[in-house]
Amino acid sequence: MTIRKVSCQGCGASLEVSEDVRYVTCNYCDASLEIVHDTTVTHSLLLKKLERNTDRLIDEVTELRLARELELLDAAWQKFCKATFAVDSDGTVHEPSENESRGLAVIGIVVGVVICVAAAIGGSPFYILPGGALIALAAASFSRTPKLVTEYRKSKAVYQRRRQEVLDGMQACRSRRRVS
Ligand SMILES: [Zn+2]
């Protein structure tokens, strides 16, 4: 069996091919080549150039884009939490708890009622106004709480779903690169 030298039409590398081989893939650039054996000379025809390299590049770009989206997503969520809820000095977000907020509202109502009653008994009508305002505020936050918590949970679910999609996408890019 005769070995012929042929140069790859994809990258110019010199390849050794035996005479009975018709199709090869270049070891250097992954181009698919058809080997043409003439009576005097053997040469290669390019069938598919650099396809795998191109796929790899697309995956890398996609992964970068997803990594950027992940950053933006996390930043936006942090911003939303900071704007909406109490945040500790160490950055921990106090997620709204229905019972906690309602408990606070109930305490506000009780304190407001105590102030009003004390004002009525003590004959200082001046304190009935702030007492009443406290009751009104606490009552409003009591009825608003469930809606706020529901909104928060909905937003969090959307955020986490998208975050998982982005992570899955990045994982897919990485595992495709490992295979190729
Ligand atoms: Zn090549």
CA of 62 to the centre of ligand 1 (A): 26
- CATH number for 3-49: choose from 3.90.320, 2.60.420, 2.60.40, 2.20.28: 2.20.28
Please return the burial class of 73, using the count of CB atoms within 10 Å of its CB with bins 0-12, 13-18 and 19+.
middle
- What pLDDT score does 164 carry? 94
The contacts of residue 62 (CB under 8 Å, 6+ apart) are 169, 173
Alpha helices by DSSP H, 26-127: 51-84, 98-122
The contacts of residue 46 (CB under 8 Å, 6+ apart) are 9, 10, 31, 32, 33
Nearest to 9, CA basis, from 19, 36, 21, 20: 36
CA of 124 to the centre of ligand 1 (A): 96
101-159, pLDDT tens digit by residue? 778 888 889 999 998 888 888 888 788 888 899 899 888 887 777 777 788 888 889 99
CA of 172 to the centre of ligand 1 (A): 27
- Residue 40 and residue 65: Cα distance in Å, rounded? 51
67-84, pLDDT tens digit by residue? 999 999 998 888 887 777
- Please state the pTM of the whole predicted model: 0.49
CA of 45 to the centre of ligand 1 (A): 11
Q: How confident is the model at residue 86 (pLDDT cuts 50, 70, 90)?
A: low
- Mean pLDDT for 19-48 is 82
CA of 49 to the centre of ligand 1 (A): 8
Nearest to 144, CA basis, from 177, 108, 105, 113: 105
Nearest to 28, CA basis, from 45, 48, 12, 39: 12
Dihedral through CA 23, CA 26, CA 30, CA 31, nearest 10? -60
Sketch the domain layout of the chain as residue ranges. 3-49, 56-179
Note the Cα 119 to chain centre separation in Å. Answer: 55
CA of 9 to the centre of ligand 1 (A): 6
State the average pLDDT for the chain.
Answer: 82
